[in-house]
Amino acid sequence: MIEKYFDVDRLYGRILRYYVAKKHYSKEEANAIAQKIIQKERNKRICKNTGCKHLLNDHIRNHDSCLVESCMCEKFTR
Ligand SMILES: [Zn+2]
Ligand SMILES: [Zn+2]
């Protein structure tokens, strides 16, 4: 399954709206939470291969070779 492009800005905005509108957090609190969630989500999408560390989206079909020119990674590693 090909994962859709990870849209950080959109996700960030949605998390913010959720915590401010539905949970009645202050903007600062919501911001802090959103940053934590984004960080976690980003980590999940980063290749753990030493020397790669590129995003899932940089790998062919999300599991094969890395598309970054200088990178030798041949398999996405979680
Ligand atoms: Zn890479
Ligand atoms: Zn990789």
The CA 38 to ligand 1 mean position distance, Å, reads 21
pLDDT over 90 (residue 27): yes
**Is residue 56 in a domain?**
yes
**Is residue 72 in a domain?**
no
Owning domain of residue 24: 8-62
**b/e string for 15-29 if b means 16 or more Cβ within 10 A?**
bbeebbeeeebeeee
Residue 66, classified by CB atoms within 10 Å of its CB into exposed (0-12), middle (13-18) or buried (19+), is buried
Give mean pLDDT, residues 38-42.
Answer: 91
- Give the distance between the most distant pair of CA atoms in the chain: 47
Strand partners, 59: 66
The domain tally of the chain equals 1
The CA 41 to ligand 1 mean position distance, Å, reads 18
pTM of the model: 0.70
In whole angstroms, give the CA distance from residue 1 to residue 26. Answer: 38
**Is residue 44 in a domain?**
yes
pLDDT over 80 (residue 2): no
Share of the chain above pLDDT 90, in %: 82
